[in-house]
Structures are given as structure tokens and as C-alpha cells.
């Protein structure tokens, strides 16, 4: 979605798109891992790869060994149910088994399906870089409750959508309960409002997302890439075998 449309699209019109815009899955091929496993890479003394966070040049948040031989990238929307499913079923084994070994890094990049995604991403990236993926996972793990908030105060949301950019996103967050949601998870209300009032920061975030999506031809969420090549499937049941065939064990 283009920058100007994200900033002008009526919020209520965007709401029904949240579930429908997510990508569909494909059937598993049942193939078994072949070839030798890649050797584990030890983390620096006193550290763990699963706790190592890097902000990439594309604006993504990567956990794991920055030099891992297998680099898994997910383009995700915070209002996508398939992204929530991957977070709930795949993120923990991905981190515990594959990222922890130093063989796989996992990078999360934003995709915006609607203006709500801009607000949530603005909040998830408001704190320390180590907070970003855990905050995103909290959104996905509580997605039904988040949806209730997004759709529970339509008049206030509509009014917020008409405000100037510097006021709009904080007002949307107030009206939808997102300020309280993130405050309960370590982003204070004042911190959240300050982040969302920073119009140049929000505009830069949207432009980065737009550039990434255009470059990688991302049209749905979640979309995965492994070492720069698009990966078929949206579920952990399909992603894990492809990591294994590439040498992760």
C-alpha cells in the first residue's frame, strides 16, 4: 500500500481487510532432509544467539548470529492471522533449536495492510531493539483481543483518522486500546504517545516498508525468504522442513 494511501485511507474501511489480506498456504511435499547438517556456531562467551538482536539495513529486526549461513526473513503484518499462527506455533522452536545453534538467523520485516499496522509497528519499535520481536509476538498471541479494541470504538477511530499526521496515530492508539496494551508490556503511555507523534519517524518507517515490499515483490503475509530466495508456505510445518533441507538440524 502506497504511503499516501496509508495516510489517507479511512480506518473503518481498512478493518475488514485484516484477515482477508493474509496469504494462503500450500501443501507440504513430505520430502526428508538430505545432505549433511551444517555445524553449530558457538556464540561469543557469555552470550546467546537467541538474545542477539540486530537492526538490518532494511529496517528489519534480526535475532541470532548475524553471520549465520542460513538467513530466514519473514515479511509480516501485525493484523494478519496467518502471521499470528506462525508466531504461536513456530517462533519458539525456531529460536530454541535453530537460532540458538548459530546456523539460522531470523529477521522480521514489516508489511502494512492497513493503517492499524502502522500504529502497531510504531509502538513495537518504540523501545529497545530487543523488545521489538517479543512485543510483536504479544500482539499475535492476543490477536482476538487486539481486534476487539481496533473495532470497538468506531466513532473515535474515524475522528482520529482525520487528524494531522503528528496527532493521528497516537489518537488511534488511544481509541483502540493499544496505548494500554503496550503499557502493560513495557512501553509507557508517555513513551508511546511520543513515538507516535514523531511524524518524520512514522513516515520513514512507511517508506522503508514500501521500498522493501516493492524490491521483494511482497503481496501477502506472511512471506518468507531463505538466503534471498522466496520460500513456499506460511506455516511452521512447511518452513521447518525447508530449513532442514538447507542444512539446519
The domain in which residue 62 lies consists of 51-246
Domain count, the chain: 1
| Structural domain contains residue 40 | no
Q: In the 3-class helix/strand/coil scheme, how is 22-49 assigned residue by residue?
A: ECCCCCCCCCCCCCCCCCCCCCCCCCCH
Asked if residue 22 belongs to a domain, the reply is: no
**For residue range 109-163, what is the model confidence (pLDDT) as tens digits?**
999 999 999 999 999 999 999 999 999 999 999 999 999 999 999 999 999 989 9
Strand partners, 54: 62
9 in a structural domain: no
Residue 207, strand partner residues: none
Q: Determine, yes or no, domain membership for 12.
A: no
- The reply to whether 35 falls in a domain is no
Question: Tens digit of pLDDT for each residue in 171-209?
Answer: 999 999 999 999 999 999 999 999 999 999 999 999 999
Q: What is the pLDDT of residues 17-73, one digit of tens each?
A: 444 346 555 444 555 566 689 999 999 999 999 999 999 999 999 999 999 999 999
Q: Which residues contact 43 (CB under 8 A, 6 or more apart)?
A: 49, 52, 65, 102
The predicted structure's pLDDT at residue 16: 45
Q: Is the pTM of this model over 0.85?
A: yes
What CATH number did the domain enclosing 58 receive? 3.40.30.10
Amino acid at each position: 500500500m502506497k504511503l499516501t494511501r496509508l495516510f489517507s485511507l479511512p480506518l473503518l474501511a481498512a478493518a475488514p481487510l485484516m484477515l482477508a489480506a493474509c496469504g494462503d498456504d500450500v501443501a507440504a511435499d513430505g520430502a526428508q532432509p538430505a545432505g549433511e547438517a551444517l555445524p553449530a556456531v558457538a556464540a561469543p562467551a557469555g552470550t546467546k544467539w537467541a538474545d542477539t538482536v540486530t537492526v538490518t539495513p532494511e529496517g528489519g529486526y534480526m535475532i541470532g548470529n548475524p553471520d549465520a549461513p542460513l538467513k530466514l526473513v519473514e515479511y509480516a503484518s501485525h493484523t494478519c492471522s496467518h502471521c499470528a499462527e506462525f508466531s504461536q506455533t513456530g517462533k519458539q522452536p525456531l529460536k530454541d533449536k535453530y537460532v540458538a545453534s548459530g546456523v539460522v538467523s531470523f529477521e522480521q520485516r514489516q508489511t502494512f495492510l492497513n493503517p492499524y499496522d502502522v500504529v502497531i509497528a510504531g509502538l513495537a519499535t518504540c523501545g529497545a531493539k530487543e523488545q521489538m520481536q517479543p512485543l510483536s509476538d504479544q500482539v499475535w498471541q492476543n490477536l482476538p483481543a487486539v481486534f476487539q479494541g481496533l473495532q470497538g470504538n468506531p466513532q473515535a477511530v474515524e475522528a482520529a483518522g482525520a487528524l494531522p499526521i503528528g496527532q493521528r496515530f497516537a489518537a488511534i492508539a488511544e481509541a483502540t486500546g493499544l496505548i494500554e496494551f503496550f503499557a502493560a508490556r513495557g512501553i509507557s503511555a508517555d513513551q508511546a504517545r511520543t513515538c507516535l507523534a514523531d511524524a518524520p519517524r512514522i513516515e520513514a518507517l512507511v517508506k522503508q516498508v514500501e521500498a522493501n515490499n516493492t524490491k521483494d515483490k511482497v503481496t501477502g503475509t506472511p512471506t518468507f525468504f531463505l538466503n534471498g530466495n522466496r520460500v513456499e508456505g506460511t506455516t511452521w510445518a512447511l518452513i521447518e522442513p525447508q530449513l532442514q533441507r538447507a542444512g539446519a538440524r
